[in-house]
Amino acid sequence: MSIRTRLTITYTIILTLTLMVFGVALYTIQAQDTINSIKKDLLFSGNRFADATQKTSTRPLPPPNAGIIPPLPFDKFSGEQEFQFVSERELVRVLDMNGELIASPFGREGDELPLSQEGLSALQSQNEWWEIATVSDERMLIYSRTVLINDEARNIVQVARPLTERDRTLQSLATTLFIAGLLTVLIAFGIGWFLSGLTLKPIQKITQTAREIGEKRDFSQRVQHKGPSDEVSQLANTFNDMLSRLQDAFQKVEHALEMQRNFVADISHELRTPLTTLRGNLGLLRKNPPAPVDVQADILNDMVAESDRLIRLVNELLIMARADTGRNLASEPILVPELLEETCRQMQQIDPNIIFHQDISPALIIKGDRDAIKQILLIGLDNAIKHSKGEIQINAKSVGVEVEIHIKDQGDGIPADKLGHVFDRFYRGDEDTAIMPGFGLGLSIAKALVEKMGGSIHLESELLKGSDLMIKFPQNPWF
């Protein structure tokens, strides 16, 4: 069962119960009010006729064997005005204390009004008595009371009024309440169905949007909701926010998959060249008759060079893999001038012709992994050495809450259209044949390590003037 159906049925049931309670209460109040009004009139009439009976000289009780004495008409029973002008709406009877009829409007036998034995006993005990009985196929409310003469109970006065009009009115009220309630419930059901559908429309849109996204994998779709700022609006906004995050995540996944495909393709390309060379050289060594000794020496030198190239590639891939997997790096205070001096000294041991011009502020301290930071500096210096045609400038200074390290070379620079790709994996651009070919992983490794330690790396370059590699780390002056 749908939410719309459940809401409509629940609303209808609540309304039906409310109308039932209201109808029963209204019917009960109306029934009680009308019966109380009739009782009030009968009390008034009963008291009048009781007073008139007290003023009337009643006939003496008959002897025991006198037989049945017929009742008297009111004009012979009493000369009091009350008995001469009896309302047509009321039935009046006068009884003796044994419940026998003494007087009626026309003095006819059979004019008795019903009186139960319980009622007669109550009247003989001088208590009034109310009773509803059927007289001539008509329901009547009968009021009976005792008439005292000289403090002695001598007569019983009965006053009755038909309940037909009241019953008809109550029946009409019940019918009206039932029909009106039924129509109200039906109309309310239709209105509730319409309003619940209108209220749940955004949820249907969310369902439809989710279905379309699942079928088309298009996370750019959004739920359009222009209603009030209620729970449904919050749901629509939350769903749209979730779609935005899913879209970003999906784009990142697609980008990562594309990067992975490119990475695998580049790795295959980089590995194929040295392996092909090694395989070809091995074939030459197995050639029969064997190659001359000097040719074999050249072949072995080529194989050693290609093996070294493979080792360098594998080492750089291992470093990149560790950076990608997010391995935990040490976090310790590092004195920047000391680390820069050590790194420059090691690079000069490799190539004594390198000239470093250092401008390093003292007491610069950063927090991070010493080996990782040294790896970053070695990558930056190695890049500068490959491309520089003069001295290399190394600057380090404090800027706000950061330490900036600049490595500037005097090379040919990098064109603007290629500058945005220098941190991409396996990107090398148009290399000079005089420069030792690399794998295009150095700056990618440096970027991954710097960002892992909360820093940033940026490269600026100008054609014919060289490049400036800027590395920033958060400063830790308290160590």
The residue with tokens 């301290």 is 365
Nearest Cα neighbor of 84 from 92, 93, 75 is: 75
Backbone angles phi, psi at 91, to 5 degrees: -110, 130
Q: What is the DSSP letter of 293?
A: H
Tens-of-pLDDT digits for all 479 residues of the chain? 777 888 888 888 999 999 999 999 999 999 999 999 999 999 999 999 999 988 886 555 555 555 567 888 888 888 888 888 888 788 999 998 888 899 888 888 888 899 999 999 999 998 999 999 998 888 999 999 999 888 888 899 999 999 999 999 999 999 999 999 999 999 998 988 888 887 777 777 777 777 877 777 777 777 766 767 777 777 778 878 888 888 888 787 887 677 677 667 666 766 776 788 788 888 888 888 888 888 888 888 888 878 877 887 777 677 666 666 555 778 889 999 999 998 988 888 777 788 888 899 988 999 888 888 988 998 899 888 888 877 899 999 999 899 999 999 988 888 888 888 888 776 666 544 344 455 677 788 888 889 888 899 999 988 888 899 999 999 875 54
Query: Which of 343-378 are b and which e, b meaning 16 or more Cβ less than 10 Å from the residue's Cβ?
Result: bbeebeeeeeebebeeebeeebbbbbbeebbbbbbe
Burial class (CB in 10 A: 0-12, 13-18, 19+), 269: exposed
Residue 357 is encoded by which pair of tokens?
């011009």
What pLDDT score does 435 carry? 44
Q: Which amino acid is at 436?
A: M
Q: Are strands 356-360 and 392-399 parallel, antiparallel or unpaired?
A: parallel
User: Residue 330 and residue 328: Cα distance in Å, rounded?
Assistant: 7
- Residues 6+ positions from 199 with CB-CB distance below 8 Å: 232
User: Residue 250 and residue 245: Cα distance in Å, rounded?
Assistant: 8
Entry pTM: 0.50
What pLDDT score does 433 carry? 39
Residue 340 is encoded by which pair of tokens?
């820069």
- Residues 6+ positions from 344 with CB-CB distance below 8 Å: 356, 358, 381, 394
Number of other CB atoms surrounding residue 26 within 10 Å: 13
Contact 455, 474 (CB under 8 A): yes
- Whether the upstream peptide bond of residue 289 has omega within 30° of 0, thus cis, is yes
Q: Helix, strand or coil for residue 258?
A: helix
Number of other CB atoms surrounding residue 275 within 10 Å: 12
Compute, in degrees rounded to 10, the torsion defined by CA atoms 133, 134, 139, 141. Answer: -30
User: Residue 97 and residue 94: Cα distance in Å, rounded?
Assistant: 10
What pLDDT score does 439 carry? 62
DSSP of 333-374, one letter per residue?
Answer: EEEHHHHHHHHHHHHHHH-TT--EEEEE-TT-EEEE-HHHHH
What pLDDT score does 212 carry? 78
To which H or E segment does residue 301 belong?
Answer: helix 293-324
Nearest Cα neighbor of 194 from 3, 8, 2 is: 8
User: Residue 394 and residue 221: Cα distance in Å, rounded?
Assistant: 51
User: Residue 475 and residue 398: Cα distance in Å, rounded?
Assistant: 8
Residue 125 is encoded by which pair of tokens?
């005990």
User: Residue 395 and residue 392: Cα distance in Å, rounded?
Assistant: 10
Q: Which amino acid is at 173?
A: L
Domains and CATH numbers, the chain: 3-169 (3.30.450.20), 231-309 (1.10.287), 329-474 (3.30.565.10)
Cα 3 to Cα 9, 206, 224, distances in angstroms: 10, 14, 21
- Residues 6+ positions from 294 with CB-CB distance below 8 Å: none
Backbone angles phi, psi at 103, to 5 degrees: -145, 145
